[in-house]
Amino acid sequence: MPEWLAKAIKRTTFFEKATLAIGLATIAVGFYFIQLLFSTDRKLSWLMLIAILNWLSLLILVIIASLNADVKEELSLVIKEHTDETRLLKEITHELLDEMKMLRKEMRK
């Protein structure tokens, strides 16, 4: 398997699986109840409009929850990389400081 494909296919977490299940259940149940409401009224009423807007709001919340989980994963990777880079910069700074001390000693002689 190519490396780029392995990076693209990541292991799904429990939260992602649960979000997918909840999203699909929200779509199915919402659509069923909206269809049931439409079959009784046979016209677009205020109750029908409120049901549709609430259903869409739930779908948007599920999408936002999924996006938040992805952002959290990406931020944890960025923080890890930042920590490694900071550690490396600290080592470089200590090496430069040691070199400056050696140069000062040589200049005093």
10-28 burial by CB neighbour count: b if 16+ within 10 A, else e? eeeeeeeeebeeebeeeee
Phi, psi of 42 (to 5 degrees): 60, 25
Instruction: Return the pLDDT at 33.
Output: 85
> Tens of pLDDT along the chain (109 residues)?
566 666 666 677 788 888 888 889 988 998 898 888 888 878 888 888 888 899 899 889 988 988 888 888 888 888 999 999 999 999 999 999 999 999 999 998 7
CA distance 108 to 102: 10
The domain segmentation of the chain, as residue ranges, is 3-108
Q: How many CB atoms lie within 10 A of CB 52?
A: 15
Measured in degrees and rounded to the nearest 5, phi and psi for residue 11 equal -75, 125
pLDDT at 7: 64
**Angle at which helices 46-108 and 14-41 cross, to 10°:** 160
